[in-house]
A = this chain, B = another copy of it.
Amino acid sequence: MKEKVYIYDATLRDGAQGEGISFSDTAKVRFARLLDDFGVDYIEGGFAGSNPRDRRFFDDIRKERLGHARVTAFGSTRRKDCDAKDDPQLAGLLAADTEWVTVYGKSWMLHVRDVLRTTGDKNIQMIADTVGFLRAAGRRVFFDAEHFFDGYKDDPAYSMRALEAALREGAEALALCDTNGGCLPHEVFEITGKVCEAFPSVQVGIHTHNDSGLGVATALEGVRAGARQVQGCMNGYGERAGNTNLICVIPALELKMGFECVGPERLKKMREVSVVTDDLTNQRPDPRQPYVGRSAFSHKAGAHVNAVQKNPRSFEHIAPEAVGNRRNVLISELSGASNVMMKAAELGTDVENLDKRQAQAILEEVKRRENSGYSYESADGSFKILLQKVLKKHRPFFELEGFRVIVEKRGRDAPCISEATVKVKVKGVTELTAGEGEGPVDALNCALRAALTRFYPEIGDITLTDYRVRILDPKAATRAMTRVLIESGDGERQWGTVGVSENIIEASWQALLDSIEYKLYEQHGG
């Protein structure tokens, strides 16, 4: 039986302190569910005591039934100038109504003196009071010793006193923080070892940052020295250079160090967790991200590709599938074609009659389109239409004769109006309709539905549930190629469609058309 290392995800709190990172209210809940499914043990939900938006999250998450993960509310020790019971921040922490609470306190005299501007003894009292107060209110408490390593390097006795105070009052676990991310791996190993030796029966956690490019290494060295909880963020989000990247920590613990975190089955979702996290915060995925990045197992043609074909271990430190990733070489044409066959079958296309040459033709069309910016990973709807077109089975339910969108603003503070006209030919009849909307794409959508609903009333069931815009070549600024992804649903099914153009309106238009065509295919057959 493998020994367990607990995973404590701080993305919603520490991660959200990163530049350019923010989660909408709905994204927070979706993210927490994602972590729960993945097998994360603790989810730090936010600064419960001081931020109204974080407080909303605790209300929302209480209504969800998480299967495994525990949500913790995060806050600080009491203010230096009032009792714990009178501190509004601690009242907010309790109001979050969680089983677990994480409080951070100072363990470095530099901070006590220069930032808190109090004495060492008074700070210790603040820690003790806060933990005691939360315990008395029935909470289970994690104590995060902020700047623990810097503090220990300056004055080991003082930083140990901070830990002792928290434990004496009933904290159940300690997290040792390299808050500034400045420590070297061997320093973290040595100091964590001392703490584990001093408190052999306590769960020790390790919470480090990546300011020196060593966030993963310091976390792993902490575990080697005895820590059994790792705190970090997905994709290494976080203030400055980010927190320890859990995406790198979890596979190392599972695959290289013999521990169990989420288990081998869930580990295969590692890539998905990374991709969805970036989606929820609208970050560009880092192609070079270890383990899960698009390039992580990419081999440029030549000696490496050849070697990997002979023995994958020759240039791959783990099997990419173990973390849900895949090798990215020009694999044999045959295996490429079999991917297409699998996907086509999944979409309900009759693959019995699909021969190898057809599969090859589809594969080439997909590659050609991916080269110009399309992406079919989350656009099953558009992929199905592409299939039909290449197989010459495409049946046009309507023909576009043209559209025009006008966006107009009269005066600096006047509202901006959007109008669209659409001309389509359906079953021999030409329809010219108009629509207005919140913006140009919304206006187009209204006009298009007005034109088609008479002939295909089922279009009325479609709701657009997501609309995403990605600029593919940011340096080209307003002339950049743009990819639009639309997610649609009709109560039974969900489908994604994609459009690409230098013109965002046209890219949106393509995705809108595919969305409607897909629905009509499903209804009337291909």
CB-defined A-B contacts under 8 Å, sample of 6: A180-B313, A184-B220, A186-B221, A217-B218, A416-B509, A466-B471
| Contact of A475 with B282 at beta-carbon distance under 8 Å, contacts A212-B248, A399-B412, A410-B401 already known | yes
Which residues, 298 to 313 on A, are CB-close (under 8 Å) to B?
Answer: 298-301, 304, 306-307, 310-311, 313
Check if B506 sits within 8 Å of A240, measured CB to CB: no
| Contact of A411 with B402 at beta-carbon distance under 8 Å, contacts A439-B503, A471-B468, A477-B486 already known | yes
What would 6 more interface pairs be, CB under 8 Å, given A19-B294, A467-B478? A241-B288, A400-B412, A403-B408, A416-B505, A418-B503, A465-B477
Assembly CA distance A290 to B287 (angstroms): 17
Which residues, 375 to 392 on A, are CB-close (under 8 Å) to B?
Answer: 375, 377-378
Contact of A214 among B189, B217, B482 (CB under 8 A): B217
Assembly CA distance A482 to B484 (angstroms): 13
Contact of A509 among B114, B405, B409, B506 (CB under 8 A): B409
Which residue of chain B lies nearest to A245 when distances are taken between CB atoms in the complex? B213
Check if A471 sits within 8 Å of B469, measured CB to CB: yes
Contact of A437 among B110, B181, B470, B478 (CB under 8 A): B478
Contact of A311 among B115, B375, B464 (CB under 8 A): B115
Assembly CA distance A107 to B315 (angstroms): 14
The interface residues of chain A, by DSSP majority, are classed as mixed
Instruction: Say yes or no for A275: interface residue by CB 8 A criterion.
Output: no
Among A18, A212, A296, the most chain B Cβ lie within 10 Å of the Cβ of A212
Check if B474 sits within 8 Å of A284, measured CB to CB: yes
| Contact of A439 with B307 at beta-carbon distance under 8 Å, contacts A212-B290, A317-B180, A330-B19 already known | no
Check if A184 sits within 8 Å of B502, measured CB to CB: no
Assembly CA distance A245 to B210 (angstroms): 13
Assembly CA distance A27 to B286 (angstroms): 24
Instruction: Say yes or no for A289: interface residue by CB 8 A criterion.
Output: yes
Question: How many chain copies does the complex carry?
Answer: 2
Contact of A470 among B282, B294, B315, B318 (CB under 8 A): B282
Instruction: Say yes or no for A480: interface residue by CB 8 A criterion.
Output: yes
Which residue of chain B lies nearest to A215 when distances are taken between CB atoms in the complex? B213
Which residues, 113 to 144 on A, are CB-close (under 8 Å) to B?
Answer: 114-115, 117
Which residues, 460 to 494 on A, are CB-close (under 8 Å) to B?
Answer: 463-475, 477-480, 482, 486-487
Check if A475 sits within 8 Å of B482, measured CB to CB: no
Instruction: Say yes or no for A201: interface residue by CB 8 A criterion.
Output: no
Check if A474 sits within 8 Å of B467, measured CB to CB: yes
Check if B288 sits within 8 Å of A18, measured CB to CB: yes
Which residue of chain B lies nearest to A318 when distances are taken between CB atoms in the complex? B182
Contact of A184 among B257, B416, B463, B464 (CB under 8 A): B257
Check if B221 sits within 8 Å of A503, measured CB to CB: no
Contacts of A287 in B (CB 8 A): 19-20
Check if B440 sits within 8 Å of A19, measured CB to CB: no
Instruction: Say yes or no for A501: interface residue by CB 8 A criterion.
Output: yes
A467 to chain B, nearest CB (A): 5
Contacts of A117 in B (CB 8 A): 310
Assembly CA distance A398 to B279 (angstroms): 39
Which residue of chain B lies nearest to A400 when distances are taken between CB atoms in the complex? B412
Contacts of A254 in B (CB 8 A): none
What 7 pairs between A and B have smallest CB-CB spacing?
Answer: A182-B317, A217-B217, A464-B477, A213-B248, A439-B503, A438-B502, A114-B311
Contacts of A217 in B (CB 8 A): 185, 213-214, 216-218
